[in-house]
Amino acid sequence: MARLNTFEAVVEELDARRSFLVEAGAGAGKTTDLVRALQYLLSHRRTDLEANGRQIACITYTNVAKKKILERISADPLVAVGTIHEFLWSVIQAYPRELWQQILDYNANLSKPEDLTEMAAPPVIEYSDRGRKLSEGRISHDDVIALSLRLVATHPKLIRIITSKYSVIFVDEYQDTSPKTIDLLLNHLAGAGKEPCVIGLFGDSMQKIYRSGVGAVRHDKLTPITKTENYRCSRPVVDVLNKMRPELRQQASGNQQKGEVHLFLNTDVPPGPRRLDAARATLASRDWTLENSKYLLLTHRGIAGTLEYANLLEQYRQLGSHGPDDLMARNEPYIQYLTQIEALCAAYQERDFVELTDLMGQGKRRITRHTDKRIISKAIRELDTVRATGTIGDVLDLMAGSPLLAVPGTVKDRERRRTAADLDERHKRQADFSNNIRGVSYREVISVTRFIDELTPFSTQHGVKGDEFENVVVVIDDSVWTMYNIGKMLAGTDKPERTERSRNLFYVCCSRARRGLAVVFINDLPDGAEATARDWFASGAVHP
């Protein structure tokens, strides 16, 4: 009998109502198989699902993945697509009394429990992505996961309710799922119910790069299905991936067969940014441009230095643990206003007067007469001069008296408080932030805005999982990392846990390349690492 392809193997398990795990390397089309499996179920079980008021659950790791899957199944209402937190919260929020009892027990075991003894009545419980405050009924990402497992483990009736509603539960990128969620799915839901609930895990254990993820999963209830095709990467890139991961050898199966691979050691150049400059010069001679290449660094801090917004990022780090995320998501009043200013300037420079009029309509002035255009042109020219040479404070001061965008009330409040006395700790930290950010060069706002708007070729390596690019340049600087060390991983001299994290991240980065892959080491490799690096990149060119 011929070997079943991945989709056929999945269908065989679904028809037999057995749970399964699809393990597939990068570029294998895992999500395509997941979508095809959903379409198969909708085609063959629609009548049964509708008659019994049941659904298929599809759990994703990110909202981006959620959106893609919804688009590909035309948002069919018989499939509940959501992130793991959305799915679990939808399950437990209907049982507030039982949930509150679990919260009390859960709180008692926390390292810093809250005092909940004086509460007259349980609060309304809500799930928030901004942290835990149990006394106000607010539970966090991690709390939702932990409390869901506790509820299911102590209330068997809840298992029957879940499995009667969801006959099949798929998990995309299973390797990034919490071990507690995998415990809930496999040890409590898989096989439970009148019609055994089927759990289908799709992912790649080698692409686990988040510490909270479960990684590889092996379980008696799971039928393993392995997929070896790589439809993304060229043959030379696949050869590198197979050296990294000999236990799952892939075949280059896509249209992009030709490609090139480069390993840059550049030991004749002093360690540091000049080694990257040398590599870029070599690649430019081979027609690698900023338009057709993506440069991957590990952290926003690394990119901030490259793109010159390191001081701005540091101020947001000082603001609090959510500060960098608020900067990148434009969730903080200063960056919201400053990026509006950048949008105004961009519209003017591009002569996009429709957008300019729209932005101006949100502020102080509407463009109705020719004199308005002259006033606005003069104001923007003045603004451009300060943007190029001044600080954020200089721009804020100019805008306070400018006929352009009005300063929002939230920014005005922060500006007033920065010189106030007798502030509490939270407002004092905010005032320090307001004062410090004013001294940062405004050019850093221009740089970070370009990065957020994806106008640069640079990305963080965590941020590209699932993406692909024609050419990829992976920049390795182990001196700025603590959780990863690619050099020691290659030398085989690091701790097992960090070695695994480093290899996984390196694999994820290299496997984003469709045609060309280049790896650039900014610093000298440790003893024993170069031999492994040369072996892995034997399919390409090594620049010693």
Outline where 52-95 has alpha helix (H).
63-72, 84-92
List the one residue out of 452, 454, 463 whose CA is nearest residue 505.
463
Q: Across the strands, what pairs with 472?
A: 294, 517
CB 295 within 8 A of CB 471: no
Q: Has 31 been labeled as part of a binding site? A: yes
**What gap in Å lies between CA 494 and CA 481, rounded to an integer?**
14
Tell me if 259 is assigned to a ligand binding site.
no
Task: Report the alpha-carbon distance of residue 512 to residue 464 in Å, rounded.
Answer: 8
What Å distances lie between residue 13 and 29, 38, 72, CA to CA? 19, 13, 22
Name the phi and psi angles at 81, rounded to 5: -100, 130
Cβ(418)–Cβ(435) under 8 Å? yes
Q: Which of 225, 275, 274, 181 is nearest to 16 (CA)?
A: 225
Query: Is 286 in a helix, a strand, or coil?
Result: coil
Which pair of tokens denotes residue 151? 């509820």
200 is in an annotated binding site: no
Tokens at 269, concatenated: 């150049």
347 is in an annotated binding site: no
CA atoms within 13 A on the CB side of 6: 25
Tokens representing 296? 């991957």
Q: Is 456 annotated as a binding residue?
A: no
User: Taking every pair of C-alpha atoms in the chain, what is the biggest distance, in angstroms?
Assistant: 81
Beta strand pairing call for 260-264 and 251-252: unpaired
Distance CA 359, CA 316 (A): 26
491 is in an annotated binding site: no
- 325-329 long-range contacts, CB within 8 A, separation 24+: 327/448, 328/300, 328/452
541 is in an annotated binding site: no
Read off the amino acid at residue 424.
D
Judge whether 24 is annotated as a binding position: yes
- 252-258 CB contacts, 8 Å cutoff, 24+ apart: 253/229, 254/27, 254/230, 256/232, 256/514, 256/515, 258/234, 258/515
* Residues annotated in a binding site: 24-31
* Residues annotated in a binding site for ATP: 24-31
